[in-house]
Amino acid sequence: MSLKHIWAVTLKELRHIRRDWMTLFLVTLTPTALLFLMAYAVTVEIRHVPIAVLDYDRSPTSRAFIQQITVSDDLELYQQVSSMDEIEDLLLRSEIKAAVVIPPAFESELLAMSGIPLQVIVDGTEPQSGGFAVDRIGARTEQFASELLAEQLRARGIQLESLQALDLRVRTWYNPNLEAKVDLVPGLISMVLGLPGMSVALTLAREREHGTLEQLLATPIGRAELLVGKMLPYVISGLVNLLLTTAAAMLWFGVPFRGNFLLYVVLSTAYFLAILSIGMLIGVFTRTQAASMALSFLVIFFPGFFLTGIFFPITSMPPIVRMEAMILPGTHYAIITRGIYTIGVGLDVLWPNGLAMVGLGIAFTAVAALFFKKKLG
């Protein structure tokens, strides 16, 4: 394998990327733009869920309870109604996502400690908002009942400390506030940085469509040299995207970076080689850019949603699916990005994932070189 031949192909591909503004945008700015789009789409926190309240009791306790469940901006009291028909009308017009029905005996039964008589009606057409409302209402109902019980016990001269059988102390490491972005943004970075793999899949198809592959086939450049030379420019663009997405994660989203940046660059380079080798393999077997793009989306981008552990834990998947997930470079890179960003782990922990990506890159490149024939047709 000649380094001179590889560099010649690399320069040719770099010139093409520089002259074609669409390709330049795809390989340099699209991953960062997609990171912003997906981060805001996925990590949006639910706020201002409209609810209605039907208070049959109309007691000081029920009014205090209504104030308790709407104390924060996550649940918004849209309207206090006077009948079930009004609740049904509001649900039909999608003006509320949940309704709380307080029965007539609410205060008396609650003070008698005979239970909390309460009904919650949820709009099942939007389970996320409805489930969120149920969780918040349930938590604040328990808090309200506990505070009311504490007041009664103090009035009777009973010290609360004598009733505490459990002293539970919870500490959350690495993400004390349990912010979704701290976990999701590094995972999304591992997915959007796979876009150069889709770009390199188009390069051979583009050469075939434009007829320039004939000129390359007439040169003494070998199969592996041609493929590696075409991959290297996209490794460079991937490293540029690495800097852009890291800056966006830290400066815009406020995600901490606790690991070694040099190690992050080295492991990211291994990931780019692995994902680009898959893209090159796709380019070997496809003849048109449309086919390359469609197959790249199905093989590279689509599995990033479901099989890399970004949104669904790998441990909860069936054994055969877990095996499939581990042959994807994105699975290993998602572990690396989350580990370096959130925890700050080093090579002593991440070396198996790095080694797996190197092995996958070598294997896919070898298969691509094996099936790539220096002849037309």
Query: Three-class SS of residue 331?
Result: helix
Residue 218 — very low, low, confident or very high, per pLDDT cuts 50/70/90?
low
Q: Are residues 35 and 54 in the same domain?
A: no
Q: Is the pLDDT of residue 320 over 80?
A: yes
Mean pLDDT of 250-262: 93
Q: Out of 163, 198, 228, pick the residue that ends a domain.
A: 163
pLDDT of residue 159: 61
| Residue 81 falls inside a structural domain | yes
Considering the chain, what is the average pLDDT of its residues? 83
| Residue 377 falls inside a structural domain | no
Please provide the size of the chain in residues: 377
Q: Out of 128, 163, 198, pick the residue that ends a domain.
A: 163
| Helical (H) or strand (E) element with 51 | strand 49-55
pLDDT digits (tens, 9 = 90+) for 45-65: 677 899 999 999 888 888 988
Mean pLDDT of 248-266: 94
Q: Out of 113, 137, 163, pick the residue that ends a domain.
A: 163
**Burial degree of 15 (CB within 10 A; 0-12, 13-18, 19+):** exposed
Q: Is the pLDDT of residue 374 over 60?
A: no
Q: Model-level pTM? A: 0.77
Q: Give the number of other CB atoms < 10 A from CB of residue 61.
A: 16
Q: Are residues 220 and 344 in the same domain?
A: yes
Distances (CA, A) of 59 to 62, 101, 248, 267: 5, 14, 52, 63
Q: Is the pLDDT of residue 126 over 60?
A: yes
Q: Are residues 355 and 237 in the same domain?
A: yes
Q: Are residues 230 and 280 in the same domain?
A: yes
66-70, 152-156, 242-246, 324-328: range with lowest mean pLDDT = 152-156
pLDDT of residue 375: 44
Question: Domain tally for the chain?
Answer: 2
| Residue 169 falls inside a structural domain | no
Residue 138: which domain range? 49-163
Q: Of 35-44, 211-220, 248-257, where does the model show the most confidence? A: 248-257
pLDDT of residue 376: 46
In sequence order, what DSSP letters do the residues of 173-204 get, joined into one string?
-S-TT--HHHHHHHHHHHHHTTHHHHHHHHHH
